[in-house]
Amino acid sequence: MTPTQLVPILKELSDSDKLLLLHFLIAELLKESGLVPLDEQGKIANQGSYDSFEAAVVLAQVLAEEKA
């Protein structure tokens, strides 16, 4: 199928289906490029030991130490 054939079909998708498709395409691109390791279930693996809030605290501490 060509992109011009896909566009009308994609326009008919619900917003949630479009987001799922976008997530799938991004995951496939990352997997093929080797930029992000994927686990056996095809989910993006944990990229570190911090969640976003913990990472923000660590970053704030490092920045505060650099200022001092």
What pLDDT, in 10s, does the model give residues 44-66?
A: 555 555 567 777 888 888 888 88
Residue 22 domain boundaries: 3-67
pLDDT of residue 5: 94
| Number of domains, the chain | 1
User: How far apart are alpha carbons 12 and 17 in whole angstroms?
Assistant: 10
Q: pLDDT band for position 67 (50/70/90)?
A: confident
More confident residue, 43 or 7: 7
Tell me the mean pLDDT in the region 27-49. Answer: 64
